[in-house]
Structures are given as C-alpha cells and as structure tokens.
Amino acid sequence: MSIHETQGEILEERETWPAMMKGLRGNCPSCGETKLFTGGLKVQDKCEVCNEEFHYHRADDLPAYLNIFVVGHVVVALIMIALKWDIVGMWTGMFITIGVAILVSILMMRPLKGMVVGAQWAMRMHGFGGNED
C-alpha cells in the first residue's frame, strides 16, 4: 500500500475500485454506511456516520459523458441488430430506441455520478486530500 504526502502529512492510499463501487450503489465512498445523495443528483455535504465531507466533489459533466457513451453504444447496437434481423420496423425501432435511451439515461445518471464522486474521493482530488484546488 503506498502513501500520499500533503502539507507535511503522510496519508494512506485509498482503494479506488471499492470506493467507486460504493459510490455506484449510492453509498458513502468512505464507510459505505449512509446514502451519498440527498435527493435527485444532489450529493450530501457530509456523511452522517463517518463525517467525511463531500462538498469538494467536482463531478461536473463526466457522469453525463459516461452516460452518453454507454447508452449510445448499447442502445444503438441493440437497435441495429433488431433492424438487421427484421425484428421491428424502422419507425417502431425509432420510437423504441428513443424511449429506451431516455429511460436508461435517467436510470444510469445517479449511479454514474456516485461512481465519479467515489473515484475523486479515493484519488484525493478536489480537496478530498486536504488541499484546496
């Protein structure tokens, strides 16, 4: 396990994948005990159990880009297969694609944002390591 040094203080490395998976589930990336979100896509200011502060996060547009990437590749691939094999017609496929893309995008946004916040916490980015940006 490696260590980080900040302002003369030695900090242990945080494991990135477990923190990202806790965030993906919508839990605190530090302790995994409480919910990361207060409602919708708003991240809590701090954890109620371990008092880890989350107001440092800067998820910004990354969750949206990841969402577009995943939904675009999966939904477009599925509809192309359906059209190639003549499972649905072109107009039906268009409406199904639009509906599925919107639904999947809405369902994936919160887990993706939690995963990004978990990664930032684990990598001590944006103030999570004791340094302000």
Whether 129 is covered by a domain: the verdict is: no
Closest CA to 69 of 104, 41, 118: 104
In this prediction, residue 6 carries a pLDDT of 52
pTM of the model: 0.82
Residue 27 per-residue DSSP state = B
Whether 128 is covered by a domain: the verdict is: no
pLDDT digits (tens, 9 = 90+) for 54-68: 888 888 899 999 999
Whether 102 is covered by a domain: the verdict is: yes
Whether 74 is covered by a domain: the verdict is: yes
Whether 46 is covered by a domain: the verdict is: yes
In this prediction, residue 129 carries a pLDDT of 65
Whether 131 is covered by a domain: the verdict is: no
Q: Is 87 a residue whose pLDDT tops 80? A: yes
Per the structure, the count of domains in the chain is: 1
Residue 15 per-residue DSSP state = P
Whether 7 is covered by a domain: the verdict is: no
Query: Structural domain of residue 62, as residue ranges?
Result: 12-122
